[in-house]
């Protein structure tokens, strides 16, 4: 037989166990490859750098999510592999004994099983990588089909190679240990019917007898296979952490990023301006997430774009005071001004920060008392007493400033103190908001070129009709920003659904993991379960025992996994999370339902044993 | 004699085949048997003669391929698994050659197991388990797990467990097969007590001491009862 002959035949003969191992690692590899490749195609990379697709604020949430979920996917993959190899070797220790008894050395046995591991790992990693790439291509195509513009960027083969190698290497490193352990068992011990790799030498007997017979037996079985139980708990916990981050984290991140966009763009806001300007502004907004076509640059300060003050008075009298937010928008280069901060390492010392970088940005003069938006802002937004103060967009802050809140920004030759950094999809976050009066003086223009109106949604039709009436004959047009906002929210929703989908397959790995544990448990306990039936236990009693055992495992792992996943989501992933109670309750509800389903599906081996003729089980030698 | 007593076991044209791939093994061939209440029947014969298969069919652990097996007026071949489980719990006590104790339960808990399955009150379970353990002389080993007991002790616990629900029929498969002579004697004494107590016992054995206890000894060969010594 060739070197591959025995391992290959052995794997194909044990289709179910081989299938479990291949499926577990394939799903994990595919998840990681998909997330990283999908992230790359959307323009942010796992290195947490803004890649040009999103504003850095959105990119931060997405990249953070992808990084954490990819890492958890990696951990889940290798821990599932390690666990499955351990359970497989626990079942194969007698085969190892037979091999050694018939003349094989421990090294030969080790190399056979290592070859099996390598076949499983390389097959799974290859299939997983291909599936991940295909899923990424499919999702990008689907986004385009849905009307969003996302290009199929060439895959970064180095990243794929690194993921492949990381999975293959880690799976080998963790898988080799149980193989070594099994092949090192003395031949006589390995052949002994009472020897087990997984059983603790002295069965433990902490007694929760009062909880009933089923619980007592299930609990003690778990304790007896302590090392396998602990490995199963560790493995399931990682998988359930991944699932929780993917579902709960995904749901919260989806709501939160949608809320960021809604706060920045504004709900029920109508934009009024010259058609050239409204088109330009819509294009600046559309660039937030998609690859919108560049519009022809125009001089935003052209006097023909300025809006007459009397129009504002008319709109105010029509809609009520405080509903109109006039702005003066221009495009210019803004510069980083070095700042001086206290040297944290040398008392009394100072250090200079900043590189005098510059970048093209939109500068918006706003009346702080009348702004209709409510950006997520680090620091504060402008107030009415501010003169040379600015709030800058997230991308401008992270790309052009070292410590924005300790620095100034130079706009049109003047220094502005940076009061805050806002998360703004407009012009991909390359924006600066300054007091309207100051900007008017600097550009020597009196007036505004854009108006933003917040309308009451219940009076929308009347308001739109009134606005149409007011604008007729002025050469201005209006644009309801709800359309732009909804498209962006749809895009975010589609994106999160896709990003959340594949990690949800981690539930499949949880099922595989538990199935494997139940197989080990039921195979190990098959005889005893048969004895119980011979003594009068009904098949459903056997199922109850196994279900209690797996239920306990899932309960403990679920408690660890869901807590860890929730903490990761809340503490590290999402700043100012928006937690919609109903959808969160639903998500947790689904998660709990998933745990129940996981427990139930793992009953398959138990059902098999419960259906076997009792006589066959008890008549076999122990 | 069987015909004089109330009938407990009645087997007629009993056949049992096992299929391993394409090979069919006939474990029992048209076997007829009657066992009366309180009778002690021993079965002997070479390995593969069908002794264990017969015990399994009588105990409702398996179903015949053809023929009828009626135990306590129940046609076991026609019963579903749930009924058979309840039947085993209440009517039959099994003692296996390899003890077959549940490794995660203590000696006392192993004895209590069939009673707990039958949902006896907790206090009654406790009392009876302790009493049975005392009967087999292992009160001092109540909290020991099977792995901490010797072979003989495990077999005594297995006997105590077989008696837990006070079943009228005891099926014993090579009870001394794994024990040394002296330990085997303890088991023989327990069987003596069972006989004296009026239990119906069917024992598959090669141990002459047990055969001597029997009212009837049936020699089995090739799935049939080859001879009967009364």
Query: Cβ distance A307 to A348 under 8 Å?
Result: no
Q: For residue A615, which residues of chain B lie inside 8 Å, CB to CB? A: 52-53, 56, 61-62
> Is A221 near chain B, with CB under 8 Å?
yes
* Residue ranges of chain A with per-residue pLDDT less than 70: 1-4, 43-54, 192-211, 288-295, 321-322, 502-504, 572-583, 619-622
Rg (C-alpha) for chain A, rounded Å, is 32
> HEC states along A152-176?
CCCCCHHHHHHHHHHHHHHHHHHHH
* Partner residue facing A535 (CB), from B81, B82, B114: B114
Write down the pLDDT at residue A194: 61
Q: Rounded to whole angstroms, how far apart are CA atoms A387 and A390? A: 9
Residues of B within 8 A of A616 (CB-CB) are 62
pLDDT tens-digit series, residues A369-424: 889 888 888 899 999 899 999 999 988 998 889 888 889 999 999 999 999 999 88
pLDDT in tens, B78-116: 998 889 999 999 999 998 877 888 888 889 999 999 998
A203, A538, A616: residue with CB nearest B103:
A203
Contact B61/A613, CB-based, under 8 Å?
A: yes
Q: What is the DSSP letter of A493?
A: H
Q: Which of B85, B106, B80 is nearest to B165 (CA)?
A: B85
Residue A543 contacts B, CB cutoff 8 Å:
no
The closest alpha carbon to A336, from A352, A312, A322, A324, belongs to: A352
Chain B residues touching A536 at Cβ < 8 A: 85-86, 88-90, 114, 117-118, 165
- Does B102 sit within 8 Å of A532, measured CB to CB? yes
- Residue A81: what are its φ and ψ, rounded to 5°? -60, -45
Residue A151: which residues within 8 A CB-CB, separation 6 or more? A41, A140, A291
For A613, the closest chain B residue by CA position comes to B62
pLDDT beneath 50: ranges in chain B = 1-3
| pLDDT at res. B1 | 45
Shortest Cα distance, chain A CAs vs residue B61, angstroms = 5
Closest-CA residue in chain B for A541?
B117
Chain A residue nearest residue B106, CA to CA: A205
Chain A contacts of B121, Cβ < 8 Å?
none
For an interface test with A, the pick among B56, B57, B104, B162 (most A C-beta atoms closer than 10 Å) comes out as B104
* Alpha carbons B146 and B126: distance in angstroms, whole number: 19
For A121-154, write each residue's pLDDT tens digit. 999 999 999 999 998 888 888 888 877 777 777 7
Query: Within an 8 Å CB–CB cutoff, is residue A213 touching chain B?
Result: yes
Please give the pLDDT value at position A71.
Answer: 86
Nearest to B39 by CA among B4, B11, B74: B4
Cβ–Cβ of B114/A618 closer than 8 Å?
no
Residues of chain A in contact with residue B59, where contact means CB-CB under 8 angstroms, are 534
For residue A538, give the nearest of B82, B109, B161 by CB distance.
Answer: B82
| Number of A–B residue contacts, CB under 8 Å | 87
A41's CB contacts (< 8 A; 6+ apart) are A136, A140, A150, A151, A152, A153
Q: What is the DSSP letter of A568?
A: I
pLDDT at A200: 52
First to last CA, chain B: 9
**Gap between the Cα atoms of A154 and B84, Å rounded:** 66
Chain B CB within 8 Å of residue A202 CB: yes
Taking contacts as CB-CB distances below 8 angstroms, the residues of chain A near B98 are 621-622
Q: Does A211 touch chain B (CB under 8 A)?
A: no
Please tell me which of the candidates A220, A532, A615 has its beta carbon nearest to residue B56: A615
Any B CB within 8 A of A613 CB: yes
The nearest CA of chain A is from the CA of B26 a distance in Å of 15
Chain A contact set for B147 (CB, 8 A): 202-203
CA contacts within 13 A on the Cβ side of A375: 26
Of residues A224, A541, A618, nearest to B61 (C-beta): A618
**String of DSSP letters for A220-265:** HHHHHTHHHHHHHHHHHHHHHHHHHIIIIIHHHHHHHHHHHHHHHH
State the pLDDT at residue A213: 82
Cα nearest neighbour of B52 on chain A? A619
Collect all residues of chain A within an 8 Å Cβ-Cβ radius of residue B82: 538-540
Rounding to the nearest 10 degrees, give the CA dihedral for residues A477, A480, A483, A486: 150
* Cα(A208)–Cα(B62) distance, integer angstroms: 34
Within 8 A of A541 by CB-CB distance, chain B residues are: 85, 117
Question: In this complex, is the C-beta atom of A534 within 8 Å of any C-beta atom belonging to chain B?
Answer: yes
Q: Who contacts A88 (Cβ-Cβ below 8 Å, separation ≥6)?
A: A17, A21
Cβ–Cβ of B114/A614 closer than 8 Å? Answer: no
Average pLDDT of chain B, as a whole number = 89
ipTM of the complex: 0.86
């Amino acid at each position: 037989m060739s070197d591959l002959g025995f391992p290959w035949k052995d794997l194909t003969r044990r289709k179910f166990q081989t299938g479990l191992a291949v499926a577990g690692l394939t799903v994990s590899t595919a998840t990681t490859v998909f997330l990283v490749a999908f992230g790359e195609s959307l323009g942010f990379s796992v290195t947490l750098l803004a890649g040009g697709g999103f504003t850095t604020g959105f990119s931060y949430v997405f990249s953070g999510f992808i990084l954490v979920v990819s890492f958890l996917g990696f951990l889940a993959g290798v821990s599932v592999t390690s666990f499955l190899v351990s359970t497989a070797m626990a079942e194969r220790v007698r085969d190892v004994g037979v091999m050694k008894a018939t003349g094989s050395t421990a090294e030969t046995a080790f190399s056979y099983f290592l070859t099996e591991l390598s076949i499983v790992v390389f097959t799974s990693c290859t299939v997983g990588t291909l599936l991940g790439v295909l899923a990424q291509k499919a999702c990008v195509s689907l986004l385009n089909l849905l009307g969003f513009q996302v290009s199929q960027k060439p895959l970064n083969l180095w990243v794929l190679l690194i993921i492949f190698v990381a999975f293959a290497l880690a799976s080998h490193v963790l898988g080799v240990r149980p193989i070594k352990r099994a092949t090192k068992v003395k031949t006589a011990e390995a052949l002994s019917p009472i020897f087990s790799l997984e059983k603790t030498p002295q069965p433990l007997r902490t007694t929760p007898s009062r909880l009933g017979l089923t619980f007592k037996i299930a609990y003690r079985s778990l304790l007896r296979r302590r090392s396998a139980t602990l490995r199963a708990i560790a493995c399931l916990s990682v998988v359930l952490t991944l699932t929780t981050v993917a579902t709960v984290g995904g749901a919260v991140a989806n709501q939160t990023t949608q809320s960021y966009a809604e706060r920045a763009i504004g709900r029920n806001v109508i934009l009024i301006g010259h058609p050239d300007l409204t088109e330009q502004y819509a294009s600046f907004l559309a660039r937030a997430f998609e690859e919108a076509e560049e519009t022809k640059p125009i001089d935003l300060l052209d006097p023909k774009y300025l809006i007459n003050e009397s129009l504002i008075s008319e709109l105010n009298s029509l809609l009520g005071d405080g509903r109109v937010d006039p702005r003066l928008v221009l495009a210019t280069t803004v510069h980083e001004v070095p700042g001086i901060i206290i040297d944290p390492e040398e008392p009394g010392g100072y250090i200079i920060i900043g590189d005098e970088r510059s970048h093209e940005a939109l500068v918006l003069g706003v009346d702080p008392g009348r702004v209709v938006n409510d950006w997520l802002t680090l620091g504060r937004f402008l107030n009415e007493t501010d003169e040379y103060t600015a709030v800058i967009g997230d991308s401008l802050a992270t790309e052009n400033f070292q410590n924005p809140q300790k620095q100034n920004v130079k706009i049109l030759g003047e220094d502005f103190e940076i009061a805050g950094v806002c998360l703004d999809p407009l012009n991909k976050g390359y924006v600066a908001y300054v007091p309207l009066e100051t900007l008017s003086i600097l550009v020597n223009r009196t007036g505004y070129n854009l108006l933003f109106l917040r309308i009451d949604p219940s009076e929308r039709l009347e308001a739109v009709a009134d606005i149409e009436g007011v604008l007729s004959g002025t050469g201005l047009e209006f644009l309801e920003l709800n359309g732009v906002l909804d498209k962006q929210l749809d895009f975010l929703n589609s994106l999160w659904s896709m990003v959340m989908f594949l990690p949800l397959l981690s539930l499949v790995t949880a099922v595989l993991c538990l199935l494997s544990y139940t197989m080990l448990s039921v195979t190990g306990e098959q005889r005893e379960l048969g004895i119980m039936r011979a003594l009068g236990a009904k098949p459903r009693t056997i199922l109850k025992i196994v279900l209690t055992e797996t239920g306990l495992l899932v309960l403990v792992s679920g408690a660890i996994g869901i807590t860890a996943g929730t903490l990761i989501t809340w503490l590290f992933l999402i700043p100012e999370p928006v937690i919609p109670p109903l959808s969160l309750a639903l998500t947790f509800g689904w998660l709990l339902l998933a745990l129940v389903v996981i427990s139930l599906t793992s009953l398959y081996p138990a059902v098999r044993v419960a259906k076997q003729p009792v006589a066959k089980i008890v008549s076999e030698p122990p | 004699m069987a015909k004089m007593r109330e009938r407990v076991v009645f087997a007629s044209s009993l056949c049992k085949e096992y299929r391993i791939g394409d090979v069919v093994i006939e474990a029992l061939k048209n076997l007829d048997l009657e066992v009366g209440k309180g009778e002690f029947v021993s079965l002997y014969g070479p390995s593969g003669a069908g002794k264990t298969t017969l015990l399994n069919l009588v105990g409702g652990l398996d179903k015949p391929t053809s023929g009828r097996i009626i135990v306590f007026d129940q046609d076991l071949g026609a019963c579903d698994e749930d009924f058979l489980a309840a039947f085993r719990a209440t009517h039959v006590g099994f003692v296996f050659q390899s003890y077959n104790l549940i490794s995660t339960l203590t000696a006392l808990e192993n004895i209590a197991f069939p009673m707990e399955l039958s949902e006896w009150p907790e206090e009654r379970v406790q009392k009876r388990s302790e009493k049975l353990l005392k009967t087999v002389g292992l009160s001092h080993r109540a909290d020991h797990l099977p792995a901490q007991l010797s072979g003989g002790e495990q077999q005594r616990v297995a006997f105590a467990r077989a008696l837990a629900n006070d079943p009228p029929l005891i099926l014993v498969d090579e009870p001394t097969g794994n024990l040394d002579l002296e330990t085997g004697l303890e088991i023989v004494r327990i069987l003596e007590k069972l006989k004296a107590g009026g239990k119906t016992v069917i024992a598959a054995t090669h141990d002459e001491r047990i055969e001597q206890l029997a009212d009837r000894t049936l020699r089995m060969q090739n799935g049939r009862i080859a001879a009967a010594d009364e």
